[in-house]
Amino acid sequence: MGRRNLAGDDLLAERGLSRRVALMVPHFLVAPHAVAGSDLVITLAQRVARAFATRLPLTIHEPPLAIPRFAMRLYRHERRPLDPAHQWLHQQLLAIAKEL
């Protein structure tokens, strides 16, 4: 698997810095378990980091650089827009997202 160039990499590069990637995981929710009790760091959304810090030996620190906000998007396949189950799920997800 190749190294991905993320938005944070551009912010670092503007300052003449770069990351040293020590570990790649298949999904970001695996990463807190991998870094707990190690000297590794991970950048996570604050809400996700706080949730994991209640269950794992993690400490939360403000990042040294301002990280741009990101948007969550909901996609569905164009073949199923009228499927009642898909419509229900879509509405449930939108309602939950509005509460966050």
Cα distance between residue 49 and residue 41, in whole Å: 11
Cα distance between residue 19 and residue 39, in whole Å: 14
Coil, strand, or helix at residue 64? coil
Per DSSP, helices labelled H in the chain are: 7-14, 31-35, 46-53, 84-99
pLDDT tens sequence across 23-69: 889 998 999 999 998 999 998 888 899 999 999 999 999 988 888 77
Q: What is the length of the chain?
A: 100
Q: What confidence category does residue 98 fall into, taking pLDDT thresholds of 50, 70 and 90?
A: confident
DSSP 46: H
